Structure 1
């Protein structure tokens, strides 16, 4: 079972709706429930598998809404023209890659890993995107502890 350390301040549904309106994004129901419960923070355990060829990584921190260092709105602005249409950056790893939530079909609710080392000039080129989970809950369930190497 994943626990989140240093979660953000408690949110209301109204604050999430205001965030969606201001940022012109429709968050998924499961992700809204995650924000209502945790609003960002540091997961323990935190290791996840990317793919057979990519190996694994560490989920550093989930972005949250409000006055915090890992502010979701600011991170969305940073990646606005870098991520494929319909994805928002909900977390990152220590190497500067981001974990993305699909907010539009056909990727709605899906979680992907975006590898900045393979970034294309065309943001809608998904060759640097790796499927991680069907939704935020599955991503949390897939996190595990590993041996320090």
Structure 2
């Protein structure tokens, strides 16, 4: 996995902190993000930019594939005030984020997620809020594949 410059991260966490957090919130942090949290407890990456391939879909009226440029504002920490897994978890519990998607980064209202699904485990997806229907997940209509795993995602970040 690529080394990034991470600024504004939270104080380091230990495996015991992650265990307690999972138990308290009834969730499982994907192993690859668990390792990332032990090294970088959230924070703003540099480089931070990436591109998302957005193929045609019926609800978008796109007739061709578009490339959308965006940036990771911050990776989610374990439990910080505004930039944490805890704060973003209602997207999952309220049904806005698709089942099997785990939020790991915030991008100006959109999210980068790791899949916990059997068929796409640890793949990275972009949750595009502008294509959300009525603040509810409707199939995978606003999820876009970004990378086969977190390491590949980090390696494609650019300035």
Check 1:28–1:78 CA distance in 2 against 1; reply closer, same or farther (3 A cut). Answer: closer
Higher-Rg structure is: 2
Q: Is the 8 A contact 1:2 1:143 kept in 2?
A: no
* Partner of residue 70, structure 1: 83
**Equivalent-residue separation in structure 2 for 1:23 and 1:87 (angstroms):** 16
> After the TM superposition, which segments of 4 or more aligned residues of structure 1 sit over 4 Å from their partners?
none
**Equivalent-residue separation in structure 2 for 1:106 and 1:20 (angstroms):** 23
TM-score normalised to the size of structure 1?
0.88
Residue 45 of structure 1 pairs with residue 58 of structure 2: no
Residue 5 of structure 1 pairs with residue 7 of structure 2: yes
Deviation at 1:66, TM superposition (A): 2.5
- Number of equivalent positions: 144
Alignment of 1:105-124 (within 5 A): 105-121=118-134, 123-124=137-138
**Equivalent-residue separation in structure 2 for 1:59 and 1:35 (angstroms):** 16
> Which sections of structure 2, spanning at least 5 residues, go unmatched?
54-64
* Partner of residue 134, structure 1: 148
**Equivalent-residue separation in structure 1 for 2:28 and 2:16 (angstroms):** 13
